[in-house]
Amino acid sequence: MKAILLKDFGGPEVMTYGDADQPQPVADQVLIKVHATSVNKPDVMQRMGQYPAPKGESEILGLEVAGVVEQIGANVTKWKKGDQVFALVAGGGYAEYCTAYQNHIMPIADTLSFNQAACICETYITAYLNVFLLGQLSSNQSVLLHGGGGGVNTAAIQLCKNLTPDVTTFVTCSTGKVDRVKALGVDHVIDYQQQSFADEIKALTGGKGVDVILDHIGGPYHQANMQSLALGGTLMQIGVSQGVKAEINLALMMVKRQRIIGSVLRSRPIVEKAQIIEQFEQTVLPLFANQTIQPLISNVFPLSEAVKAHQMMESSQHFGKIVLEV
Ligand SMILES: NC(=O)c1ccc[n+]([C@@H]2O[C@H](COP(=O)([O-])OP(=O)(O)OC[C@H]3O[C@@H](n4cnc5c(N)ncnc54)[C@H](OP(=O)(O)O)[C@@H]3O)[C@@H](O)[C@H]2O)c1
C-alpha cells in the first residue's frame, strides 16, 4: 500500500510517499480502507522524534482515519465490510489502509463527508475528555482555551458553546486570528501577542479567575495560568509545546484548592479509550449528525503532499484542521 514514510526524524522533508506493508487486523480490529486522515500537532512532534508511537503500534504517522471497512477480525461483531466509519488510532493513519480496534470506531452519519469525519477523533475527543470529563466544566462556569485557531481548540470552542451554552469562554490566539476566533462566538478573545492573558482574565472576571484552563503551551504559561485560575479551578495540561518545566507555588495552589491534571489520549489503555469514545458517541456525535456542529476544515492536500500539509501546520497558517485525502 501507499503510505507516508519517515527517512529520518526532522523537518517536513523527512517524509516521503512510498510503499509499506498493508497492516493485518488482529481479532478485535477492523481493517479500514482510508479515504481521509488529518494532521494533528502530535504528528509533527512524532516526525521530529519527540513523540514515539506507543509500543506495538504502527510507526506510520496519523492518529485518525475515515474510510470504509475492508476486513474484520475474528472477534468483531460491531462492523461489517462496506460500513463507512471513522476511527481513533494510535498510529498508521497516513496510509491507504489502517487497522483500528472495533470499539474505537464510530459510524459516519449521512450528513458528514469522509474529510469531515477524519477531523473529529483526535481533536474533539481530546477537547471533550479534557474540558468536560476530566476538567468537569459545568453550567455557569468559565473556561480559558489557549490557541483558538487550532484543531483542538476550534473543537473545544464548539463543544463549550453547545454542551454548556451558559459557560463564559475566554480564548487566546495570535493577532491575525482574532476576528476568526470571535466569529466562532466566543465571549472574550485575547490576543496573546498584544495582551497579557493573565491581566485580561483578572480584569474581565473581576479578579475571580476561570474554572477550567486547557493549556498546551506549558512552561512559559504556567504561572499566568495559575494566576488566572479561580478557587477550586482545574488546569488541564495537554501539551508542553513551549517548555516542560515550571515553578509552582504549592501554598497558593493548596489555599485556592486548585488541581493540575496532565492528560494524553494516545497512550491510554485500549479499554479506557473505548469508554471515552462510548461517552463521546452518546454526547457529542448527535451534534455532528444533526449538523449543529461541523469540523472546521482549513485546507485539504492529497496524502502524497503531506510535506506541504506539515509545513502549513508548522507555520501556523491554518485555522481549524488540515485534511489529507487518500
Ligand atoms: N494530550 C493530548 O491527548 C493531546 C491530543 C491532541 C493534541 N494535543 C496537543 O494539543 C496542542 C494543539 O494541537 P493541535 O493539533 O490543535 O495543533 P494546532 O492546530 O497547531 O493548534 C495549536 C494552536 O495554538 C496556537 N498557539 C501557538 N502559540 C500560542 C501561544 N503562545 N498562546 C496561545 N496560542 C498559541 C496556534 O496558532 P496562533 O499562534 O497563530 O494563534 C494554533 O492555532 C498540541 O500541543 C498537541 O500536542 C494533546
What integer pLDDT is reported at residue 207 of this predicted model?
A: 98
What integer pLDDT is reported at residue 82 of this predicted model?
A: 98
What integer pLDDT is reported at residue 51 of this predicted model?
A: 96
**What is the CATH superfamily name and number for domain 2-120+266-325?**
Medium-chain alcohol dehydrogenases, catalytic domain (3.90.180.10)
Nearest atom in ligand 1 to the alpha carbon of residue 41 is 15
Do 126 and 152 form a contact (C-beta atoms < 8 A)? yes
Q: Is the CB of 30 under 6 A from ligand 1?
A: no
Q: Tens of pLDDT along 197-238? A: 999 999 999 999 999 999 999 999 999 999 999 999 999 999
Q: Which stretches of the chain score pLDDT less than 70?
A: none
Instruction: Work out the angle between the directed axes of helices 197-204 and 219-228 (0-180°, nearest 10).
Output: 10
Q: Return the closest-CA partner of residue 146 out of 110, 178, 190, 109.
A: 190
What integer pLDDT is reported at residue 246 of this predicted model?
A: 97
Q: What are phi and psi of 244, to 5 degrees?
A: -100, -10
30 Cα to the center of ligand 1, angstroms:
30
**Closest residue by CA, ligand 1 atom 13:** 41
Q: Give the global pTM.
A: 0.98
What integer pLDDT is reported at residue 90 of this predicted model?
A: 98
Kindly list the domain boundaries of the chain, sorted by start residue: 2-120+266-325, 123-262
Nearest atom in ligand 1 to the alpha carbon of residue 174 is 41
Nearest atom in ligand 1 to the alpha carbon of residue 220 is 31
| CATH of 123-262 among 1.25.40.10, 3.40.50.920, 3.40.50.720, 3.40.50.2300 | 3.40.50.720
**Closest residue by CA, ligand 1 atom 17:** 41
What integer pLDDT is reported at residue 160 of this predicted model?
A: 98
What integer pLDDT is reported at residue 154 of this predicted model?
A: 98
